[in-house]
Amino acid sequence: MTSIGKASPLRWTYLIFVWATILFVLVPLATTIWVAFFSNKILSFPPEGYTGTWFVQAWSLEAFRSGFFLSFQVAICASVLALCLGVPAALAIGRYQFRGREFINTVLMSPLMIPAIVAGSAIYLFYIELQIWSDVQFASTVYGLTLAHALIAIPWVLRLLVASLAGLDPAIEEASLSLGATRLTTFFRITLPLIRPGITAGVLFGFIASFGDLEKSLLLVGPGRITLPIAMLNYLEYRTDPTIMAVATIQVLIIAIALIVSDRYVRLGRTF
């Protein structure tokens, strides 16, 4: 605040614009949560009263309930799988200098860069080809969906782990090695405990990215087996009522909890 001068019309315009922009980002979320408690049956203003029945109603709708469980299951399996693949990869990238390091890093981060709808379509067509060759069904199965979601989670695990390895003094590992511990012992007794916050955050971010994904999953889900964001999209295309806002509120709450928990392990302000 030091740099733009004292109270002047220019400064006031600037401050108003800043807060208006912040509101512009936050107001839609706040409105969603507000409307979820309206007692109006259809969307209208002003509220006739407030009620919590839409949350019960949302839970009683099969599409949302099963969508929630599927999303949860897929997000957990995918982030665990991404962790198993991501921890060794992060060690290689964070601790070694080797030929092709940049290339491997770029490929592993590419799921973040390649447009989700294009990637989703490519994976879908690939699954179909695979099925024609091998007679094993991948498209519209939970396994196929989980594999694709692991792809979403890998860049997050990698990014947060490499960052946490960079903050770790290699001298500590060296000391362990020179005192006679094997590489494996050093990893499990020294490195792993020290990068645990990074691992926790990586899994949480992987979970969040997978749980909220829409575009990559669109083509990969099967009839009667859709994830929560897709169930929400399908519903919203035909009607807007407090029930769907209750569902959105629940999703927002789950992700907010996951983010606040991960904020304890890695300060969000420093990661971004």
Partner 1 sequence: MTTLVVAPDTSGMRAVAKRGRWAAPYALSGPAFVFVSLLLMLPLLMMLRLSFYQYDAAQMYIQAFTLDNYVRFFKDEFYRQVLWTTLWVSAVTTLLCLIGGLAVAYFMARTTSAILKRYLIIAIVLPLFMGNVARTAGWIIILDNKGLLNFLLQQLDTGGETLQLLYTSGAVITGLTSVLLPFMIVTLNSVMHNIDVSLEEASLNLGASALTTFRRIVLPLLMPGIFAGCVLCFILSMNAYATPILIGGPKFYMMAPTIYKQISAAMNWPFASALAFMLISLTMVLTVVSAVMFNRTARIGAVR
Residues 26-55 that bind partner 1 (CB under 8 A): 26-32, 35, 42-46
Q: What is the 3-state secondary structure (H, E, C) of 170-231?
A: HHHHHHHHHCCCCHHHHHHHHHHHHHHHHHHHHHHHHHHHHHCCCCCCCCCCECCECCHHHH
Instruction: Decide: is 22 part of the binding site for partner 1 (CB under 8 A).
Output: yes
Instruction: Decide: is 246 part of the binding site for partner 1 (CB under 8 A).
Output: no
- What is the smallest separation between the CB atom of 135 and partner 1, expressed in angstroms? 17
Tally of CB atoms within 10 A around 112: 15
Instruction: Decide: is 224 part of the binding site for partner 1 (CB under 8 A).
Output: no
Q: Which of 58, 70, 203, 232 binds partner 1 (CB under 8 A)?
A: 232
Instruction: Decide: is 272 part of the binding site for partner 1 (CB under 8 A).
Output: yes
Instruction: Decide: is 233 part of the binding site for partner 1 (CB under 8 A).
Output: yes
Q: Which of 70, 75, 77, 111 binds partner 1 (CB under 8 A)?
A: 111
CA distance 265 to 255: 16
> Could you tell me which of 194, 202, 157, 158 has the C-alpha nearest to residue 173?
194
Distances (CA, A) of 147 to 41, 85, 158: 40, 12, 17
Instruction: Decide: is 261 part of the binding site for partner 1 (CB under 8 A).
Output: no
Restricted to residues 64-93, the positions that interact with partner 1 (CB under 8 A) are: 85-86, 88-89, 91-93
Backbone angles phi, psi at 97, to 5 degrees: -105, 120
Beta bridge partners of 225: 222
Q: Which of 173, 195, 217, 226 binds partner 1 (CB under 8 A)?
A: 173
One character per residue 126-165, x = contact with partner 1 (rule: CB under 8 A):
x--x-----------------xx-xx--x---x-------
**Span of 21-29, 48-56, 58-66, 195-203 interacting with partner 1 by CB under 8 A:** 21-29
Tally of CB atoms within 10 A around 76: 17
Backbone angles phi, psi at 219, to 5 degrees: -90, -15
- What is the smallest separation between the CB atom of 92 and partner 1, expressed in angstroms? 4
- What is the smallest separation between the CB atom of 56 and partner 1, expressed in angstroms? 19
